[in-house]
Structure 1
Amino acid sequence: MIIKETLANGVRAIIEQVPHVRSVSIGIWVGTGSRDERAEVSGVAHFIEHLLFKGTAKRSAKEIAEVLEAVGGQLNAFTSKEYTCYHAKVLDEHVDLAMDVLTDIFFHSRLAAEDMECERRVILEEIKMYEDTPDEVVHDLLAETIWAGNSLGRSILGSVESITAMTPEMLRNHLETEYCADRVVVAVAGAVDPSRVLAVIRDAFAGMPARSPQCTRVLPEVTGATIFQYKDVEQVQLCLGAPGLPHEHKDIYALHVLNNVMGGGASSRLFQKIREERGMAYSVYSFHSAFSDVGLFGVYAGTSPAFVHDVFGLIIEEMVRIRHDGITAGELKRTQDQIKGSMYLGLESINSRMTRLGKGEICFQRYVPPEEIIEKIYQVTLDDVLQVARSLWVPERFTLSLVASADPGLNRLESMHKLGL
């Protein structure tokens, strides 16, 4: 049973009662992320997410960390390009405690200057950690290049310069202007009494002011380019990116099928041809990131310098083959069944159920039943997949990012993807 209520100020509560479990997952979702930052405060959304755990009027940072762990629960948060989520998971008998902790940090965090200095150092260490992870760097490099000059292309963490320059006033201003009531979704899934949880949500969120957000999202222009970054690493990390599709595009389900066939799992074309048949990479896959008005399709591989041209050639070869001939009926059916099975298996996780509720409201302004998604996946035809491959895989709009210890032959790689398609 799923119940939804919108408060007078625009805060949305959506609750799924799952009586056969003992757990409850709660998420406070805010429809703002790194994309909604001005350039001079890059990383502020992520900084706020960290700082909300550093203490409130009635709990210290240590007490916030201990209170749910003491009853076997979990408390965490994350920031993405377009939304932020503060979430907890507990046994059903501790749902009131979890709601109290989440609303406490959400509304009553101290945002003290001394806490900010400590957390600034933590985030700078987090940036260093990511910089020491080349497969993360190459993905950030791809986004920065394909969406050059747009906030969507900037790192969620911000830069060393922007984090170092961040002030308490910047944090408070962003929090006050971007955490608007009509951007907030409280999603709850598990063994709960919906009427009781709704009463708690009304009491906690009814007074949240409704404001207009400060930043307006700008549609990024896709730029085709090749970018190389030197790092002292053993492998060449490469990402080939192309325009994707936004959440609600009519062809999004065909693209999901295309992505799965191309590099979505161990049975995919790329995994089989590059890893299983030739042993040229440990990790190789394709991916698609959908946003409110744009998307990104990409292929990643990490391989030895000696194999980089062969691996890249095999990627291009598969893209050419699909763009010319499409996929087979067997691949379509297998992928449809795979997506169906994966979705329904995921629903056995209370965290996944809560995430579906929250993301559905943030991205689509409604709960999207899994049956609706499965129906649309099975409506995808071979021609749908062929047409979406031909419309998106245009060489002039490709961006190639590489991280390696030496030039892996950029000119040759560029000519391969420009001539190959």
Structure 2
Amino acid sequence: MTPLSSGLTLAWDDYGSLGTTAIAFYVHVGSRDENPELFGAAHFLEHAVFKGARSWSARDIANIQDRLGGEINAFTTRDYTVFYAKVLASKAADALELLWAMVSEPWLREDDIGKERQVILEELLEAEDDLEDRATELYMAALYPDEQFHHDILGSRRSLRQLNAEQLKNFHRKFYHPDNITLVLSGEGVEELKVLAESLRWPHPLGPSITPVRLGPKIGPHIEILSRPGEQVHVTMGVPAPRMFDADHDAALVLSTILGGQNSSRLWQRLREDEGLVYTVSASYSAMKDWGELSIYMAMSPQSVPQALEAATQEVMNLLEYGPTEEERAWALTQAETAMAFTMETPDGRMARLGAYAVCGASPLDPKARLSRLEQVSCEQIMRVSREILAVRPWAVAACGPVQGLERVLQTALHA
């Protein structure tokens, strides 16, 4: 990574590509940095910049997007907001200019904000109808009781109706500062783009740089249940896990793969293939600089819930008692190596990898060094880490769907 004279931080790679380029501005602010009266502001602002920037109206921006081809979009997480483009290398300079205009010179007019508010409310309604998504949101609330950390990235109906243009302008002034933004470049033509990046200047006077002050989220595992009509019950349950730069990060990644990250995994084979209790079951591991979690997700008919939870519990206990086999470890490492290879094959994959590290103030390891470190994870380390994190009680448990009559069963699912 390299600091630019404008205050921006630049991260790039020069692996090259077949004529394509990926560009992204990572703004170091996410939903966890919002005050309660501003819940949803980071995501709302991500939408609002497409309504007009610099001398371009929303229609102009849409026309430019279509003229450039590829994909120009944005997304918001708890930890950061990303504005990105995946285009032909011949269009990369124009894509960089468009993204920079949206990040640094958005209009944020009240009439545009009113129109976009309704769009986001529709997005919220769509998310509320997605029971898998609801189970995930409930799970984060069950694991991290601090509402400022776990609240819905989209905000709530109440907060969205209250947000106005002036609040979004203040949010932009506070957090959208060159010192708080990383530009990530990957693919063909990176050297030319680096020259253009050095010429970028913030278009209006800057106030003091305000980097979000973050404390690691408080952990307080409990149960969250939401009764909704439907055919399946969606359950997500999990525990705190190593953070991104903890020594046991790699072991936790391999552990989640063995538990439920592939077709040969223990949960998939037991719950789906052997007993036919679920349509889908998986385990996943997520980590950032100051938090990490490992979770199990499953969806099943209400009558299958007791058996599925019991089977999942048994598989977790078996792993705790006997540990993984060498064969399981080898398969999980192959999965990780394959994922790394596919990530490194595309500019947008490399861009996402660079950006995720950059917002944590670090650079990723060279792929060969990364794989070498993964290969050092032993069965003994996986077993130790599994006992340190999976044996913890209670687990956070979240369930969404037709859950009537299942409350007691859920109370005993890796929670008691």
**Quick check: TM above 0.5?**
yes
Corresponding residue for residue 283 of structure 2: 286
Deviation string, structure 1 residues 315-354 (Cα, Å, up to 9, x no partner): 1111111111111111011111220122112211221011
Q: Which of these residues, 307, 323, 327, is aligned with residue 326 of structure 1?
A: 323
Distance 2:392 2:184 in 1: 41
In the alignment, structure 1 residue 198 sits paired with structure 2 residue 213: no
Corresponding residue for residue 344 of structure 1: 341
Deviation string, structure 1 residues 179-212 (Cα, Å, up to 9, x no partner): 2322211111111051x21221121146784734
RMSD: 1.8
Counterparts of 1:163-242 in structure 2, within 5 Å, are 163-194=160-191, 196-205=192-201, 209=206, 211-213=208-210, 215-242=212-239
- Quick check: 2:131–2:400 contact (8 Å CA) kept in 1? yes
Deviation string, structure 1 residues 291-328 (Cα, Å, up to 9, x no partner): 22111111010100111111111111111111111111
Distance 1:408 1:292 in 2: 39
Partner letter of residue 400 of structure 1?
A: V
Q: Which of these residues, 384, 389, 407, is aligned with residue 387 of structure 1?
A: 384
In the alignment, structure 1 residue 355 sits paired with structure 2 residue 346: no
TM-score (norm 1): 0.94
- Quick check: 1:236–1:408 contact (8 Å CA) kept in 2? no
Q: Which of these residues, 257, 260, 267, is aligned with residue 260 of structure 1?
A: 257
The alpha-carbon distance between structure 1 residues 210 and 382, as it changes in their structure 2 partners (threshold 3 A), is farther
Q: Which of these residues, 375, 379, 384, is aligned with residue 378 of structure 1?
A: 375
Q: SS in structure 1 opposite 2:199?
A: helix
TM-superposed deviation, 1:83: 0.8
Corresponding residue for residue 148 of structure 1: 145
The alpha-carbon distance between structure 1 residues 280 and 113, as it changes in their structure 2 partners (threshold 3 A), is same
- Quick check: 1:248–1:364 contact (8 Å CA) kept in 2? no
In the alignment, structure 1 residue 412 sits paired with structure 2 residue 405: no
Q: Which of these residues, 241, 245, 270, is aligned with residue 244 of structure 1?
A: 241
- Quick check: 2:30–2:79 contact (8 Å CA) kept in 1? yes
Between 247-256 and 207-216, the greater mean CA deviation after superposition: 207-216
Q: SS in structure 2 opposite 1:119?
A: helix
TM-superposed deviation, 1:131: 0.3
Partner letter of residue 112 of structure 1?
A: R
Corresponding residue for residue 112 of structure 2: 115
In the alignment, structure 1 residue 64 sits paired with structure 2 residue 61: yes
Deviation string, structure 1 residues 144-202 (Cα, Å, up to 9, x no partner): 122112422111111111111112221111111112322211111111051x2122112
TM-superposed deviation, 1:63: 1.8
Deviation string, structure 1 residues 107-143 (Cα, Å, up to 9, x no partner): 1211010110011001111110000000000110111
Between 376-385 and 217-226, the greater mean CA deviation after superposition: 217-226
Deviation string, structure 1 residues 205-263 (Cα, Å, up to 9, x no partner): 46784734264212222112122111011111111121112110110000000000001
Distance 1:376 1:8 in 2: 35
Between 364-373 and 176-185, the greater mean CA deviation after superposition: 364-373
TM-superposed deviation, 1:15: 2.4
The alpha-carbon distance between structure 1 residues 403 and 113, as it changes in their structure 2 partners (threshold 3 A), is same
The alpha-carbon distance between structure 1 residues 253 and 233, as it changes in their structure 2 partners (threshold 3 A), is same
Distance 2:400 2:415 in 1: 20
Distance 1:339 1:130 in 2: 30
Q: SS in structure 2 opposite 1:29?
A: strand
TM-score (norm 2): 0.95
In the alignment, structure 1 residue 22 sits paired with structure 2 residue 19: yes
The alpha-carbon distance between structure 1 residues 408 and 215, as it changes in their structure 2 partners (threshold 3 A), is farther
The alpha-carbon distance between structure 1 residues 372 and 363, as it changes in their structure 2 partners (threshold 3 A), is farther
TM-superposed deviation, 1:373: 1.7
Q: Which of these residues, 395, 398, 416, is aligned with residue 398 of structure 1?
A: 395
Percentage of matched positions with identical amino acids: 27
- Quick check: 1:7–1:206 contact (8 Å CA) kept in 2? no
- Figure out how many residues of one structure are paired with residues of the other and give that number: 415
- Quick check: 1:28–1:87 contact (8 Å CA) kept in 2? yes
- Quick check: 1:68–1:90 contact (8 Å CA) kept in 2? no
Q: SS in structure 2 opposite 1:65?
A: helix
Between 275-284 and 374-383, the greater mean CA deviation after superposition: 275-284
- Quick check: 2:17–2:347 contact (8 Å CA) kept in 1? no
TM-superposed deviation, 1:73: 2.3
Partner letter of residue 182 of structure 1?
A: D
Q: SS in structure 2 opposite 1:334?
A: helix
TM-superposed deviation, 1:383: 1.3
**Structure 1 unaligned blocks of 5 or more:** none
Distance 1:107 1:413 in 2: 48
TM-superposed deviation, 1:20: 4.3
Corresponding residue for residue 132 of structure 1: 129
